[in-house]
Structure 1
Amino acid sequence: MKKFRFSASIDAPVARVWDTMLAVETYERWTAAFTEGSTYEGSWSKGSRIKFLAPSGDGMIAEIADNRLHEFISIRHIGMISNGVEDTESEAVQSWAPAYENYTFQSTPEGTLLIIDQDITEDSEQYMTDTWAKALTILKKLCEAGV
């Protein structure tokens, strides 16, 4: 597991970037870069359990490790969902869990610097690098358009 950092400078206030990134309607638009039709179920509140899901129902199980409004969110990925079955204990999951995905929102004179720090397995490095670039481009457009 390696730590990767992705970032985007967005010409929009932090509150708008935060809301656009996390509201389910716009979340589904920018995360389409990862999987068309992806969504989440749950809450972004600290301590909450949240599921990140593909249209098939497969996906990831996580907990919100931290949430500081308009500043920082830490997502602790703890398992997988496959064929409707939640798995947080198999050897396959234990080989990478927990894995963190952190979002930092910094106010800048131009708007917001959004920083993503994520633990990524070696076999996913290229995919995540390519796909985060696409996802952040979509998110930037949504935020700057005020969607």
Structure 2
Amino acid sequence: MNTLKFQTQINAPKDRVWNALWDPANYREWTRAFSDSSHFDGELKQCKEIDFLDGDNNGMYARVETFKPNEQMAFRHVGEIRAGQRQDPSTEWGNNLESYSLSEVNGRTTLDVSVDAPDEYAAQMNDIFPKAFANLKALAEKH
């Protein structure tokens, strides 16, 4: 298991970055780097469960561990979803943490992301996250 760390600077206040991250339509845009049809289903609130899906309804389900609007969001992954059906808790992805933290100085936001990923997915995540960040920056920085 690897804990991967990513950081980007965005020329926008953190409330705009938060909206770019978690508004459902915006989420679909910035996560295209992972899958052209990435989306989530569920409620982004503390202790709620959420499904992260592609167009074929495959993906992961998670529990919202931390929900502090405009500051921090963290998910504890539970298991996989295949064809819209939740699978038993995963030994590969289960209990992995994915967290997003925002800090702002003079209208510029630093986004720090930490992702626990199985060894065989580390290279893929290291390749995709910078592309996703480019999409996110474009969304958050437009006026």
TM-score by length of 1: 0.93
SS at match of 2:136: helix
Query: Structure 1, residues 52-72: CA drift from partner, whole Å, max 9, x if none?
Result: 000001110001001111111
Contact 2:10-2:140 within 8 A present in 1 as well: yes
Matched, 1:87 2:84: no
How many pairs does the alignment contain? 143
CA distance in 2, matches of 1:63, 1:78: 7
Code of the residue aligned with 1:19 in structure 2: it is N
Query: What is the Cα-based RMSD across aligned positions, in Å?
Result: 1.1
Matched, 1:123 2:120: yes
Code of the residue aligned with 1:70 in structure 2: it is N
SS at match of 1:40: strand
CA distance in 1, matches of 2:88, 2:8: 32
The structural deviation recorded for 1:95 is 3.7
CA distance in 2, matches of 1:61, 1:132: 19
Runs of 4+ in structure 1 displaced over 2 angstroms? none
Task: Give 1:96-115 correspondences, 5 Å limit.
Answer: 96-115=93-112
The structural deviation recorded for 1:27 is 0.3
SS at match of 2:56: coil
Matched, 1:143 2:128: no
Query: Structure 1, residues 120-145: CA drift from partner, whole Å, max 9, x if none?
Result: 11100111011000000110011011
Report sequence identity in percent. 29
In the alignment, structure 1 segments of 5+ residues that lack a partner are none
TM-score by length of 2: 0.96
